[in-house]
Amino acid sequence: MIRIKISPGDFLLYLLFLKIRLMAMKYLPLMHNFDGKTCLIVGGGKVALRRAKNVLAAGGIVDVIAPTCLPELCDLVHQHKSGRQQGQQHQGKLQQKQYQAEDIDPRYALVIAATNDRQINQAIAQQCKTKNILVNVVDDSSLCDVTFPAIVDRNPILVAISSGSASPQFSKLLRDRINTFIPNGYGKLAELFGRYRKRVKSSIPKPQDRTVFWNKVVHGYIAESALSGNLEQAESQLKNAIENHRKLEQCGEVYLIGAGPGDPDLLTLRALRLLQQSEVIIYDRLVAPEILSRLEQGKDLIYVGKQRANHSVPQQQINELLIRYANQGKRVARLKGGDPFIFGRGGEEIENLAAHNIPFQVIPGITAANGCASYAGIPLTHRDHAQSVRFVTGQLQNGTVSLNWAELIAPDQTLVFYMGLQGLPIICKNLIKHGAATNTPAALIEKGTTLHQKVHISTLGELAALLESIEIHAPTLTIVGSVVNLHASLRWFNKSV
């Protein structure tokens, strides 16, 4: 038996802490089943309209009293039949008149005072209190029994946010943030899981086994199928998983994720969500450290970055790592700089996963060419300059670059070279040799999209000499073509007011 000793002082402190915590909640959050209940709204303006929409969406009936009423609100009241239960379809009433105390009828489950007259609002609140009816007064929390939270609606999932009337603006800000992070498909997902809860309960009787099962389902490929819009597939996978739940527990998966070129804000929402739910993250040299530091603790972070002439972990070993962790039932993120399918060997890695029957998905990232071009103010295509763009990587063999030079010298084409500095002089020389003008503009972008980004503007004829004269840090990318001339006018324009 374990005994924990608590001194009387500690105990008092604990009670005090508990009291502070209990007192800290200004409102009691409840979800009100309003189906088939009636709400009176006094007022016919924009706020009344917003509130009416909320009440109707929850299956309520809306009566409105107002001398004048927005046409949209009139239509809503007249056309909407509320109450979801059979035989309970009711329509609200609109009375175009001044409010009177007798209007507050005990059949109302809620009254909303939404007039722009403070005295009338106060009188409504007073009447409601004497008749014991819940009241909400717009813009006056001191008179309210209940307030309307900001909501994120992914029916049947509902997130309600209240700032305790301190700052509705803040609640809205938070709502917008949460809105961006909850994928649209969450409601459908919850609905699907809800339908199978009973079946899961009877097939997996032990509660702790069920927790493991749902954890796998919610964080794994089944949820992902539903979130990417494929509900049928998700449902058949779920049925399968219920029948083979022991197998599901041992089944890991791999997310091949593009981390973007450097600025951590360029990570996609899906990438961030999958990173957060991964248990192991295997990452490359080009992945921004800020991305890794944004992830919570408790994940295995494995660096497999490759550097030229210093292959820290060979590709074969990376492939084996992915298989090993996935076979341990882990969710593994394979995080690569830029986009995994652009000079990222992503294709080889997933071929290997497919061969081992391991579920995977690929999450695109912003490739270096796009990121660097945007941040440097160099559009890769432009009606007056370039109708096509080529992403090229130069394979260095014994200090030489082997490329199809003739193909690269097409008119009105932008070239983007993904590679270090070593091969650049050879590239410039060969492009000129095969017909490119020596004054063709070229931009060398180092550490693109990061806080340390530098853009060096030159020409094919002069780039090699420039490389000799300045210190440049990897990674670097080179853009060649007349679009480079636009850099001078399209650089980020930050005007302070």
Q: Which is nearer to ligand SAH, 48 or 372 (CB)?
A: 372
In whole angstroms, how far apart are CA 247 and each of 68, 80, 192, 216, 484? 64, 49, 21, 11, 55
Q: Containing H/E element for 231?
A: helix 231-243
Say whether residue 367 binds ligand SAH (CB under 6 A). yes
What the block records as the tokens of 456 is 């060096």
Closest by CA to 36, choosing from 60, 66, 55, is 60
Q: What number of chain residues touch ligand SAH (CB under 6 A)?
A: 23
What the block records as the tokens of 215 is 């954890």
Site residues (CB under 6 A) for ligand SAH, limited to 340-359 = 342-344
55, 204, 368, 455: which one binds ligand SAH (CB under 6 A): 368
337, 364, 423, 481: which one binds ligand SAH (CB under 6 A): 337
Q: Which is nearer to ligand SAH, 374 or 476 (CB)?
A: 476
Cα(437)–Cα(76) distance, rounded to whole angstroms? 68
Cα(490)–Cα(493) distance, rounded to whole angstroms? 8
Stretch that binds ligand SAH, among 154-162, 299-307, 351-359, 472-480 (CB under 6 A): 472-480
Cα(65)–Cα(45) distance, rounded to whole angstroms? 11
Catalytic pick from 306, 330, 429, 454? 306
Q: Which is nearer to ligand SAH, 124 or 266 (CB)?
A: 266
Say whether residue 394 binds ligand SAH (CB under 6 A). no
Task: Judge whether 306 counts as a catalytic residue.
Answer: yes
Q: Which is nearer to ligand SAH, 136 or 367 (CB)?
A: 367
The binding track of 290-329 with respect to ligand SAH, each residue x by CB under 6 A or -, is ----------------------------------------
In sign, the C-alpha dihedral spanning 204, 210, 214, 216 is negative
Closest by CA to 115, choosing from 208, 185, 46, is 46
Say whether residue 475 binds ligand SAH (CB under 6 A). yes
Cβ of residue 393: shortest distance to ligand SAH, in angstroms? 7
Catalytic pick from 63, 188, 263, 284? 284
CB closest to ligand SAH, residue no: 338
283, 339, 413, 457: which one binds ligand SAH (CB under 6 A): 339
Q: Containing H/E element for 354?
A: helix 346-355
Cα(472)–Cα(345) distance, rounded to whole angstroms? 26
Say if residues 257 and 365 touch (Cβ distance below 8 Å). Answer: yes
Distance in Å from the first CA to the final CA of the chain: 68
Q: Which is nearer to ligand SAH, 158 or 470 (CB)?
A: 470
Closest by CA to 97, choosing from 38, 53, 39, 42, is 42
Interface ranges with ligand SAH (CB under 6 A):
261-262, 286, 336-339, 342-344, 367-368, 372, 418-420, 445, 447-449, 475-477
Residues annotated as catalytic are 284, 306
